[in-house]
Structure 1
């Protein structure tokens, strides 16, 4: 045990003393936020403003097709239809002409069948769908009016309402749409971080083992320690590195949520009543306040506990596989035939967890969070929604037992493979090492 501790300490200190580790740990949250902002700006930059001239032969749509930031309707006289079509090509200020046919006897079939959009440039699918939606809404309103329904009654029909959800299993806590959105975002974020870090740090263990094997340094090391102690020391050392980063990030996240919750709340109280211009400027601050409230309402101690436990066990489980792979091959090219066995179960758990947004307590979510190969990502994806204690306990027990068994198998492979050179390992060969 003392040798495992010394190797773990060496691996840990070697990583955390690097300037790159310190900078990445402190700047990673800001980099993620910045990356998300860049993605948002990219979508914003790719938005287009289309100008569509409308020839309304029916006289029905003028005043009812409303322009917005992405789509501008300009009504032109019916008599100018041919002239407009003739000069459309090459017109840089106009994107297309929408021709709405004449209707007879309030029969809207002609509009639905003969409406044309003539364009001089490629318009996006979203723009086309918006035009279809705008025309359909006008036709829908006119059809309803034919039934004798007044405008006020029509507006009342389209009135939305918010369904308040009260969960009796969570002390009658109200679960709003925003709170559910926050849970979903947290679920996907934690799941993706776990998935990526298990793979990233698992590969780091594999490369470290492979490098020491190729440099023959391992022959000197195992003269003082047992191969199993060396393997466990490497795994636990890198585990502590990852855990240190998570603790820093969790602390920064909680502090950030508290700052948003208190800071924006005090600003919101000082906004003068009735000053709509100032209130609009603080809409983003209000949303941030509501998000922070929703975050702080979650059972953070349980979420952090489950996250750390499942990440640690999942990481040790898969790092054992990666360490065994690194010891069994002579170069990184040969690792590709074995790493698939580690990546596939995790990928299955991650993509399967996307369905949890619709039904966190469904049979798929249950089994993915119980089976040890997928539970490190699936249980973390479920925990923000709330999971019964017995399911958490059962999943931890099964994952712990499977992890211990995987360490035993990996140790068998590592013990033989770490000193094997020039012998291309096969599944049959690995099976012999396990049985030896």
Structure 2
């Protein structure tokens, strides 16, 4: 008997372990995790592979001077690579262009060169060849006057200096920003609905009455919240590991230097935000008496997630700054801001403090509502009615 009491000293742990083991055997959970892994790996690896597999653009030339220009364009052009194709004369160059064997042809003209295209000439090819012709022409002309390339280029260097530099390139930062917000949104929504469905299933099968007779109702809530939080965080870590592998495989490890510190902040915001929402999802399940009721009882939780998500992704700078301090919304907005702008360290600390206070208050409110409504099986309850119920 003493061993049984010792085992039940922390009954919420039993509930948490039950939630974890159930999720690990749930085909829906396993399937959704595998699907997200596949999506993440494809999103990271496929674009890099496609970019890496791009064959060089072939440029037809008729002499060594043209080949030298194409080689120079290939050396200094960062977007596309070029490959020289030697042809006999202009007629052969035109035939190669019209047949699609080459993208363009670079031929000598009266005062320089001409670039031949079929129906159009790619702007990247045209600009690269024009720049190569100009540079080589200046160097050749300078050599005739006795000037070295260094003397010719003296005082012509242009440097870039940003007044408000972002931690990442704008496109990459926005992509990662949306990814972090979407990860929190999808995970919180998916696990939240599973929590609510689990509570309703226990109510419909009357299992909850047996559990409530053996374990305090609050222990049931804490167990569900902790168990699902552990599984949600585990899923995020697994997906993050898949992203890490994808970045390393595709040679994008430099991005990790910026993302890694923000990822640590994201974990803190994720855990606190998910804890607050998990309690509300459990309450949404306790208010319902059947699965069909969840559409209305979970609506507030869905709105609490949906509105901040769209706000954190599409809002302007000032609005997003304010949203990054609002509890729940800060879990999606603040990590994104830290990627796209230089955020002082006090701002995420203040946002975490506010989120922590809100989490404590929401969890306490959720626990009271959960205790009052879990054993109410006669009909669906509303939130106002639940607040007016006396504690049992």
Instruction: Give TM class, smaller chain.
Output: 0.5 to 0.7
In structure 1, C-alpha distance between the alignment counterparts of 2:8 and 2:333, rounded to whole Å: 34
Partner of 2:281: 322
Q: 1:337 to 1:157 in 2, by over 3 A?
A: farther
1:351 to 313, 333, 340: 313
Shift of the alpha carbon at 1:11? 1.8
CA contact (8 A) 1:9 1:237 kept: no
1:72 equivalent to 2:83? Answer yes
2:16 to 11, 19, 22: 11
Gaps of 5+ in 2: 1-6, 75-79
Q: 1:16 to 1:155 in 2, by over 3 A?
A: farther
Partner of 2:325: 370
Shift of the alpha carbon at 1:78? 4.8
Q: How many residues align?
A: 353
Partner of 1:198: 188
1:311 to 266, 270, 273: 270
Partner of 1:401: 357
CA contact (8 A) 1:345 1:373 kept: no
Partner of 2:77: none
In structure 2, C-alpha distance between the alignment counterparts of 1:158 and 1:35, rounded to whole Å: 43
Shift of the alpha carbon at 1:80? 1.1
Taking the TM superposition and a 5 Å limit, the aligned residue runs for 1:230-309 are 230-242=220-232, 304=264, 306-309=265-268
1:433 equivalent to 2:386? Answer yes
1:331 to 291, 303, 308: 291
Shift of the alpha carbon at 1:314? 0.6
- After superposition, the C-alpha distances for 1:129-171 in whole angstroms (9 at most, x for unaligned) are 4313313424654897899897445555675769799xxxxxx
CA contact (8 A) 2:225 2:278 kept: yes
Shift of the alpha carbon at 1:370? 0.9
- After superposition, the C-alpha distances for 1:288-345 in whole angstroms (9 at most, x for unaligned) are 7x889x68xx9x7x985x5554232211122233223333453378378555314314
Shift of the alpha carbon at 1:225? 5.3
Partner of 1:39: 46
Shift of the alpha carbon at 1:52? 3.9
- After superposition, the C-alpha distances for 1:347-371 in whole angstroms (9 at most, x for unaligned) are 2365269x9xxxxxx7556423211
Q: 1:220 to 1:13 in 2, by over 3 A?
A: closer
In structure 1, C-alpha distance between the alignment counterparts of 2:45 and 2:231, rounded to whole Å: 29
Partner of 2:198: 208
In structure 2, C-alpha distance between the alignment counterparts of 1:73 and 1:323, rounded to whole Å: 66
- After superposition, the C-alpha distances for 1:213-258 in whole angstroms (9 at most, x for unaligned) are 34332243345556555333311232244567789999x99xx9xx
Partner of 1:379: 334
In structure 2, C-alpha distance between the alignment counterparts of 1:84 and 1:394, rounded to whole Å: 68
Cα RMSD for the two superposed structures: 5.8
Gaps of 5+ in 1: 166-174, 261-283, 356-361
Q: 1:307 to 1:229 in 2, by over 3 A?
A: same
Shift of the alpha carbon at 1:372? 0.8
